[in-house]
Every structure is written in structure tokens, then in C-alpha cells.
Structure 1
Amino acid sequence: MLWTPLNRFLDRIRPRRQAVVLLADAVLILLAWHTTYLFRMGVERWLHERPNYDGAVLLGVIAVYSAVSWALNVPRATWRYTSFHEITRLSWVCLGAGLASAVVVLMAHLVEVPRAVLALHPVFSLIMMSLARMTVRMLSESSRARRAGRQPTGQRALVLGAGAAAKLLIAGIQHRGWTVVGLLDDDARKQGSSIAGVNVRGGLDMLTDASMLDDVTHLILAMPSASNAQRKRALDLAAATGLPVVTVPSADELREGRSRIDRVRDIEPDDVLGREPVKLDESAVSDLISGQTVMITGAGGSIGSELCRQIARFGPSRLVLFELSEFALYQVEQDLGERFPHLPLVRLVGDVKDLGALRRAMQLHQPDLVFHAAAYKHVPLMEDDNAWIALRNNTLGTYLVAQAAAEQGVKRFVLISTDKAVNPTNVMGATKRAAEMVVSHWAGKGTNTRFMAVRFGNVLGSSGSVIPKFKEQIAKGGPVTVTHPEITRYFMTIPEAAQLVLQAAALAETGQVFVMDMGKSVKIADLARELIRLSGHTEAEIPIVFSGLRPGEKLFEELLADADTTLPTPHPRLRLAQLRGELPPDWIERLMALAVDESASAPPTLRARLHELVPEYAPR
């Protein structure tokens, strides 16, 4: 290419760049002088009908231009980075030097030099010097773009979508090392047009044409406002190409200011699942929270921290953050302080098993609402050596928080429960089912506090979720481990879960257990395959290995026990569970005895005693 030897030459002359620039400009001024004569006198006369002192005048003109150029620091500028500012300086050079040269020639009565040449020469000089600089810059940038496209790190993207998001994306992304080679959109009106100089080549179906993908390294999904069905179709077509797929932020992320349109990110599982967004009855939730003091236990956890963010949107008078982990409390405090700088925060390091700390916190801060999200939830970790600790934290902790809430006259107490509490086969699920039974116990005590629970399934992105593990394994080159080829789970996003908890809290009467509509269950193996494909790999490159079910793990989760029924609620994504049966009179006493009996900490003993308290618990 032309640029390669030119670039080598420019590198060699860099130590003497200013002298070389002056010489190059002198040549361009000389060419402009002759071009001006040609323009003024025509081809037949331009060379022969000149005064005999024309050469001396030309040397004088070049000297004047060089002096003015030096005075304005023009030789210091690098041609490959020529800007509008540099062209402006050249204009002043040509104007000043051209005017000075004309004045000197006229004062010297050199009448044989045509006046038109003196007038036009500065214009021709400016054009030639500007063109020379712009040509060098154009060759430099063209070469740089070709090199980036050939390098392994060069990112050449085909954008799916040609709307406003794509226009903003192109404007920002090309400064981040990306080259956008084309756009695809199903809207026939956009096909054949161009956005920011990039052509809309056709519809999304053209992804099946191998020639369309020549020299493309990535696909970018730029459809933040499209329906879930449209996004799912685009992702399916993109995944079939075998290229890595990234996306612009979702409409919610952009609206809430969590990202910018040119900050592309990897495809997340909620993009793949294609769930319709939750629509809250914001008026009812606002009436519940606005102006109230709200306390969240486990405020630094995945669900607890998102509850804090969602609650903060509705204008509580104060948030009381109760968290055992100092670091988690610090993180959520920093996040809330940045997002909601005017919201008063009370930051308490405390243990839900410490009744004294709970009483002090509620007496001092007088919460109107308590959301109890503190829990141990990792099934394998809680199954053996930590089983008794799980019972104390998940069940005894719920009892003590509920007790303190009832004593203080809190208006509503909401337990965050789980689908693993239904016909539990593991200790964690059994302790959460026992926690629901604790809520039922307190609901029957006739206090002024409304007690309720909300069940949901696996939350995408929460700590311990399978999805971050899959992404980490893919990044390492595999294999991806799945426990069983037929295992299924319900999934929802963290914001979705938190929003439905608030909606349930606004609807609930005391003693009720709400069940979230989790949509369709998803095969974990299918989800793993989809994530592998969207990362630009195949199962041959990143295999899936089935490791076998872990202790206490089910093939599928249930949201309702066999003997339960549900009733509809005003919100389409929430159902009301009608749980049968009353607690035995001594149930609470037996629970409290087990929670303080260290001799029961041996896993077999604990499981047997827990089965007596939760008859539907069937250890595996």
C-alpha cells in the first residue's frame, strides 16, 4: 500500500520534521504559483509570457510564506493528525503572506506580474497545502482501520437493528476500537439506506447467508425497545452464526441511567429467556412505602440490596439497613448513597439471631415495614456441616425478627421465601418452609402486624446462581458442568423479584403466602448450550459435563405443595397460596428447643428432628 513506504519515510524524517515541512510547503507554493499563471493565462501563454524577474519574485513569495508559517508554528504540526484548527492556521498564513507579497510587488512597481496572479495565488496555495495534509491523514486512518480489522483484537461488527439505538451506537462505538461494517433490519423502509455512512444491507434473515458474515468478528444486537419475541428471534438467528454476540443495554438500563447506548455488554440470561417485564401497580406500592420507615434484614445480599434500590424509588422517609456482613453493608450503602443521595440511611451491623439487637434497632428507628431477606440459601453448603446453622439463621432468625416486629407494632412483615420450601428435599428448603410456618404462627397471634411471605424461584445473577458459574467456566474454555441432563428450574431477574415482593406486600393480608408466576421452567442444560453458542463457541470447543445431582437437589422445583391450592390476585404475576392445616400446639416450643440444642447439630440428628417439625420434608 502507498501508506507503508510513506509512513516509513515520515518516521525517518521526524527529527528534521520542521525543515522538511517548510520545504514541502515551499514546493506546494511553487506549484500553486505556476497553477495560478496557468489559470490566468492559459496553456499556450502561461510559461512564455512572464517577466524575466518572475523567478526572483517567486523566491521572495516563498520566503514570505515560510516566514509567516514559521511565526504561526505551522511546521510543528503533524500531517497525519491534521485538524480543522490546523487548516484555520494555514488560512491565516496564506492570507497574511499573500497580502504581504502583493504589497511588496506593487510597491516595487513590478507591473508585469499579473494582478490576478497576486490575488489568486493565496487561494491556490491554501487548497494545495490543505489537500496535501488531508491526503496524508486519510491514508494514515485508512491504514489504521485495515490493520485493526486484520488483527485478532480487531472488532468488526454487524449491527442487528437500524433504529435510533443503532445510530447512537455507531456514533460512540467506533472510538472504542470497533468497526461497524453494516446493519440488518427487518423494516423494509430502512433497507438500502445508510446510517452515519454505514449501509443497511437487508433483513435479519440475511444472517443465514455466509457471505454476509465475511470479515465480521462480532454481532451487536441494537434493539433495546423491541418486544421480547423480536429480540428472541434475533438472538436465535445470531446464535446460529457461531459468532460472539453482544448487545446494547436494555431499555430499562438506559432509562434508569445504569449504562450508555455505546457500552455494549455480553448477552445475559434474561435476554435469552425473553420474559415480559413486570408491570407494577405503582400507585399501590407508593401508598405502601412513601413517607414510611422501612427496615430490610440481609440488606447487603442479592435480593436485599435490590429491594433497597426498588424501595428507595418510592420515597420512604428512611431506610434501615440491617446486615451481618460489614463489607456487604458498605457496598449497599455506597450504591444507595450514589443513586439516592437525599435518602436518609441507617446502617446497622447485626445478626438476626440476636433478639436484643433487633429490639434495639426497632425501638430506636420505629420501622413501619420490615422485609426479612436475611437467609442462608446455598443448598449444598447447608446440607451437612452447616445444617444446624441454617436452621438457626433461616428459621430461628425469622422467629426473632417477627417477634421484635410484633412487639414494636410494625405494620407489615414480609418474609422472602423460596420454591425450595415446597415439598423440600434439602435442609435449606426445610428451614425456609419452617420459616413460613413461623410466619403463620405469628399471623395467628392477633397482633397489629400483618405477616406474609413471598415465594419465588432462582434469581438470575444472585449470589450462588448457576449463571455466573456458567459464564466463568465459558471464559476459562470449559467444560461447563451441569448436574443432570433433565434438571429444570424457574428463573427470574433480581429487579423482577424485588418488584413483585413489593407488589405482594401492598396486596397481602396477614397469614398469606404469595407465589410468583415464574413463567415456564427452563432446562439448565439448554440454558448452558445457549450461553455457549452466544459466546461464539460450539459444544465441541466447550463441552457440557454432567456431574450428577448433589445431595438434597431435585430434578425440578415446585412452587406449590401437592395439597395446596391457589387463588388469583389483582396482579397477574402473583397467586395466593392457600396452605392447609394448623400448627400443633407445641410446634414453636419444639422448634425453639431444636434451635438451641447443640447436640442436634450432627446432620443425621438435625434432619430427623427437622422432619418432625416439617412433615413434608423428605431428605434425599
Structure 2
Amino acid sequence: MSYRQRLSLFVVIDSIIVVTAIFISGFLVNGDVYVLTEPILLSSIVLLTGHLLFSWKYNLYKKAWEYASIGELVIVLKIVSYSLLSALILQQIVLQEISFRLLAVTWLLHLLFIGGSRFVWRMYRDQLINSFPHRKRTLIIGAGSAGTMVARQLIQNKDCDLLPVGFIDDNRSKHHLDIMGIPVLGGVDSIAAAVEKWQIDNIVIAIPSLNKKELNTIFSECIKTPADTKILPMLEDLVTGKVSVNQVRDVRVEDLLGRSPVEMDLALLSDSIKNKVILVSGAGGSIGSEISRQISAFYPKQLILLGHGENSIYTIEMELKETFKGSSIEFITEIADLQDEEKMMEVMRDYQPDVVYHAAAHKHVPLMERNPEEAVKNNIIGTKNIAQAADWHGVKTFVMVSTDKAVNPTSVMGASKKLAEMIVQHMGQVSNTKFVAVRFGNVLGSRGSVIPHFKKQIERGGPVTVTHPDMIRYFMTIPEASRLVIQAGALAKGGEIFVLDMGEPVKIVDLAKNLIKLSGNSLDEIPITFTGIRPGEKLYEELLKEEEVQDEQIYPKIYVGKSTELFMDEIEEILTSYSALSREELRETLLELANRKPSPSHKEMLPISS
């Protein structure tokens, strides 16, 4: 129906309602509907004219009554009251008397018929939608503004298969009340009982401002039930219009294990990246590719994507070119091996990058235990080659991605990253380039990490294998890790090891349990088995050695560790002799040097203050 047709229909219906209301009032007051007294005739004309004029003034005919609420009812009340007031004034002026009983009854009938005609349509529509048998009974956690928005959208969206039948909210003043006709059934501790009593199929967590601890508390109650648990999108996505409130999604492990993200200093980052030449090594990997995505958002002049795997480099190149199509960014790919010293020099000479983000590394702990010579080649020699090339060709800032496994390492991978950190710190002492390292814990969802491994085991029906019931790790998301690396590059003064405050560590077995429950299975269906700690693994990881710890944050949630003694002569000796050692001898040599205590004569060197 066009707007003109809709307007004509409403004008005709309202005209009939107004005239009907005044004549019924005349019958009720005078006892005879066919007696056309002067007050009735005058009131009919004035009420009809006034109603149409005030309806136009308050845009009554532009309202979508399927979304009618208190606001629309107030507008109807104003129109009816002002129309009646006009009739009252005209009666006094023309007839010199006012038929109060007639006008009072007319006002009530006018309000009832006009308001009722609108709300009857909404009630019919809601009833029609709610009567669809395929809709899943849904419990909404949170009866605040977000929760009521979700409920309204779900009720009014006939294509949605979720039907809200109850709210859960810890605000006791809302308990036993109805909101939009939907009862508030109790607090979070009532979730299980509500699901059973009201035969709930789905639970929607509709509190965008929840912190991780509160979300874990709610989720732990939800997974006690057979209902599927979903969550409202992030608040910033709702505000920016990326998603709507009815686009609920499954709860992800990142929601439960993540921490409040580190906010970036956008102005500082823009100054260090915009219109600059940036090089990312390992650009096809999990961290390197995300660093490349986030750097591109600041519009560098050139972004050199350097990596050894041609498929992964091609993939990130195509993605970035599509995402930033039409921008002035020049994306350049270089297939190169960090162990090729001459190639590293050539790349630095050709592109003269302003900033290098060194994310390329071998990171798989058990594999490096079995192949320690490859850890030396890629993680130590590779870092040395690209760092020296950066120094030789005047790169302004060099940022190395490191790991918490470099602290008191028990693995070849951790030891090789610790020695690579020493090389970077040494370069920071002798070079005009600002060399820094960034240390963080495990990254959720990166290739080779525990979460994809657990998901594959769950898809196969289990069991999920965990090495030890007490094993704990720090976790962060790939975007958070990448933001930290980029922010470190902007904060760098030279020689620092940046460390993120990663919050509370997480038990791996708890992570496995959450993934099983998020997949819709129970622990009875997908069992967990313990396989024992693998070679090189620790029960828990640290982010700083005791002698490295500095209490002061240089940026919100970012610390700088104190510099310790650098064993450069010993590292050089390993690099010249490692090929002559057996794998076990090489492993012992790497671990001994990486864990060597500073000599008594070593004088602690504090990082440059920011």
C-alpha cells in the first residue's frame, strides 16, 4: 500500500470514528441518537476538523503502528484532548453554553476508538507472529535497554525463529514484573529452573557491557541446561551499525578467556605508520597477517609482505588488496628465507623501510624439541640476519615478536627466542635503529595452537587430550597481540622488552571443558584424557624473570622489563658450531645459555624512560 493510499484510508476511518463517537455520546447523554441538537452538530464539525488538523500537526498518519508504544499513545491523547478543547471553546462562543456531559463522554469514546484502532492492529500482528509454531522459546539474560531491544526485535521480526518468553535479571526490583508482556523470572541463579519450567530452547545473553568475569558466571549457569546459549554482538558494533540487536551469535571461547583489550594511542600510531614504508616478516602467519591488516588501516605508503610460504603470502596479499581497494597503499610481496643473509640485505636496500615488524619464527614446542637445529637457523640466525640488515640500511624501528616461553625456558623454542631477544637488545645498544622485543602469551586460534586442535578432536567425537590437569597458560586474541606489537613500535626508545599485562592465567583443562560445552556436547559425550607433559613444556608460563620485573606501566597494561646480561660471544659460538653438535647436545647448550644467571659483575641496565 502506497503512502497516499494509506493516508486516505486512515482519514476515512478516523472521520467515521469521530462522527460515530459524537453520535453515540449524544445517544448516551440524551437517550436518542437521531436527535441532531445544535451541540452535537457543532461538536461533530469541530471535532472532525480539529482531529484532522492536530493529526497532521503531530504526524499521526506517519506512525508505523506495528511498532506502537507509549509515545504513540501520548500523541493520540494530545490530539483527542486538543480537538475536544476546540469544541468546548466553540460551544461557549457560539452557543453560550457548554455540554460538559456530552463532551466528556465524547472524549472517552474518541480516545478509546482512535487508540484502540491502532493498537488492535499491533496486537493482531504480534499474535500472528507469536503463533508461528516453528519459533524457538527463548530466555533473555538482561532486562535492561539492550535486553528489551532484543525482545522487541525478536517479537516483531517474523523471519526470526526466536520467540522471547522470559527475562532473567539480577535487579530484584524487576522480579515478578512483566516487560512488554514478558515476565522477569528471577536472577542468574534462576536460569536452570526457568529453562526447565518454561521449556526454553535458546538463551540469549543481552548485556553488552558485561566484563569477562561476569560473562563466565552467567555462562557457567547456562551450560547447566540443554538450551543453546547465544550472545548479543559487541556494544561498539551495535552503536556503529555493523550489526543489529537481533543478530545474536554463538558464545565463543574468546568471549570467556579474553581480557579487556588494550586501547591503542591512535595519534601516535598514525604518526609512526601513515605514509611510511613498513615491512612485516612472517606476514603470512597468524600474527604477521593480523599485524598487516591493522597496519593497513593507518594507510602506510608501502607495506612489504615478507614470508617463506608462497601460498600464505599470496592469501594475505589478495585479502589486503580487496579490503583496501582504491586506497593509495602499495602492497609488495617478497618470498624470502630469513637464513639468506644476502637476500635480507637486498630487501632492506631496495625498499628502505621505516619500520620492521619481525613476526617470522618457528614456534611449535614439540617440533623444535625434535629439530633444534631448525630453531637455531630460523629463530636465531634468521633474527640476526634481518636485524643486521635493518641496522645496515638505517631502518628507524625494529620490533621483534617474542613469547612468554623465552622466560626461564625449558624448551628449545623458548631458548631460541630468548637468545634472539638478546641479539635484538644488543643491536639496540650498538645501532641508531630502535630495536625492541614484544613478549606475550598464547594466542587464541593461531595455527598450531591448542584451540584448533581441541576443535578437531571434538568434531571427531573425542576424546579431547590435555597434557596435565594443572597446566595453565596466559591467553590473548590475535588482534590484541597484534595491537601490542604495533603499539610497542610506536613507544620504542630502543633496547626494551615490552610485556603485556595478560590478566589471570587459564587452566587448559577448563578451556577444553568450555570448548566441549560451546560445541553443544556434554563432558559425558566428549571425554577429556590426560596424556602427560610433553618434552620442553612447563606447567605454567611466566612473562618476566624475577630480575626483569619492573612495577611501573609505561602505557596502560604494558610493562617494560629490565635488561639483563647479554651473552653475545656465547651466542656467536653456538652459531658457528651448532651443526657439529648432536641434537641433544645442541638442546642442552641452548637451554644452558638461555637460563644462565647474570655474572656478579654485571651492572643492570634500565630501559630508557618513556
| TM-score normalised over the length of structure 1 | 0.69
Paired residues for 1:32-431 under 5 Å: 145-146=132-133, 148=134, 155-162=136-143, 163-164=145-146, 166-167=150-151, 170=154, 175=159, 177-186=161-170, 192-194=177-179, 203-210=187-194, 214-251=198-235, 261-273=245-257, 275-341=259-325, 342=327, 343-384=329-370, 386-431=371-416
Which AA in structure 2 matches 1:269?
A: V
Q: After superposing the two structures, state which structure 1 stretch, 298-307 or 280-289, moved more.
A: 280-289
Aligned twin of 2:92 = none
| 1:449–1:608 CA distance, 2 compared to 1 (3 A) | same
SS of alignment partner, residue 380 of structure 2: helix
Which AA in structure 2 matches 1:473?
A: Q
Match of 1:510 among 454, 474, 494: 494
Q: Is the 8 A contact 1:473 1:479 kept in 2?
A: yes
Q: Deviations over 1:172-231 (max 9, x none)?
A: 986364444444344556984556x86665544431324655432232223334344443
Deviation at 1:306, TM superposition (A): 1.3
Alignment partner of 1:456 is 2:440: yes
Deviation at 1:473, TM superposition (A): 2.7
Distance in 2 separating the partners of 1:255 and 1:345:
32
| 1:479–1:168 CA distance, 2 compared to 1 (3 A) | farther
Which AA in structure 1 matches 2:585?
A: T
Distance in 2 separating the partners of 1:259 and 1:414:
35
| 1:399–1:531 CA distance, 2 compared to 1 (3 A) | same
Alignment partner of 1:574 is 2:558: yes
Aligned twin of 1:587 = 570
Q: After superposing the two structures, state which structure 1 stretch, 399-408 or 204-213, moved more.
A: 204-213
Q: Deviations over 1:224-268 (max 9, x none)?
A: 343444433322332233433222332355578876654443322
SS of alignment partner, residue 559 of structure 1: coil
Q: Is the 8 A contact 2:212 2:256 kept in 1?
A: no
SS of alignment partner, residue 215 of structure 1: coil
Deviation at 1:284, TM superposition (A): 2.1
Deviation at 1:492, TM superposition (A): 1.1
| 1:307–1:189 CA distance, 2 compared to 1 (3 A) | same
Deviation at 1:411, TM superposition (A): 0.4
Aligned twin of 2:589 = 609
Which AA in structure 2 matches 1:604?
A: E
Distance in 2 separating the partners of 1:171 and 1:192:
18
Structure 1 residue ranges without an equivalent (≥5): 1-134, 150-154
Distance in 2 separating the partners of 1:427 and 1:275:
29
SS of alignment partner, residue 209 of structure 1: helix
Q: Deviations over 1:129-151 (max 9, x none)?
A: xxxxxx9xx99x888x43x46xx
Q: Is the 8 A contact 1:423 1:616 kept in 2?
A: no
Q: Is the 8 A contact 2:195 2:225 kept in 1?
A: no
Which AA in structure 2 matches 1:240?
A: K
SS of alignment partner, residue 415 of structure 2: helix
Distance in 1 separating the partners of 2:404 and 2:542:
6
Distance in 2 separating the partners of 1:213 and 1:405:
66
Distance in 1 separating the partners of 2:361 and 2:236:
29
Distance in 2 separating the partners of 1:514 and 1:306:
19
Aligned twin of 1:483 = 467
Paired residues for 1:539-558 under 5 Å: 539-558=523-542
Distance in 2 separating the partners of 1:310 and 1:549:
36
RMSD value, Cα: 3.2
Q: Deviations over 1:308-360 (max 9, x none)?
A: 12222223222111121122112222332233221321122222222232222
| 1:199–1:327 CA distance, 2 compared to 1 (3 A) | farther
Distance in 2 separating the partners of 1:255 and 1:404:
46
Q: Is the 8 A contact 1:295 1:370 kept in 2?
A: yes
Aligned twin of 2:57 = none
Deviation at 1:567, TM superposition (A): 4.7
Match of 1:519 among 503, 522, 530: 503
Deviation at 1:389, TM superposition (A): 1.2
Q: Is the 8 A contact 1:168 1:261 kept in 2?
A: no
Distance in 2 separating the partners of 1:274 and 1:605:
39
Q: Is the 8 A contact 2:473 2:541 kept in 1?
A: yes
Deviation at 1:427, TM superposition (A): 0.8
| 1:333–1:253 CA distance, 2 compared to 1 (3 A) | farther
Q: Is the 8 A contact 2:549 2:562 kept in 1?
A: yes
Q: Is the 8 A contact 2:305 2:313 kept in 1?
A: yes
Distance in 2 separating the partners of 1:468 and 1:449:
38
Q: Is the 8 A contact 2:275 2:300 kept in 1?
A: yes
Q: After superposing the two structures, state which structure 1 stretch, 514-523 or 407-416, moved more.
A: 514-523
Q: Is the 8 A contact 2:259 2:502 kept in 1?
A: no
Deviation at 1:577, TM superposition (A): 1.0
Which AA in structure 2 matches 1:442?
A: M
| 1:192–1:350 CA distance, 2 compared to 1 (3 A) | farther
| 1:172–1:308 CA distance, 2 compared to 1 (3 A) | farther
Which AA in structure 2 matches 1:284?
A: L
| 1:427–1:300 CA distance, 2 compared to 1 (3 A) | same
Q: After superposing the two structures, state which structure 1 stretch, 227-236 or 476-485, moved more.
A: 227-236
Structure 2 residue ranges without an equivalent (≥5): 1-123, 598-610
| TM-score normalised over the length of structure 2 | 0.70
Q: Is the 8 A contact 2:369 2:587 kept in 1?
A: no
Distance in 2 separating the partners of 1:235 and 1:452:
39
Deviation at 1:613, TM superposition (A): 4.1
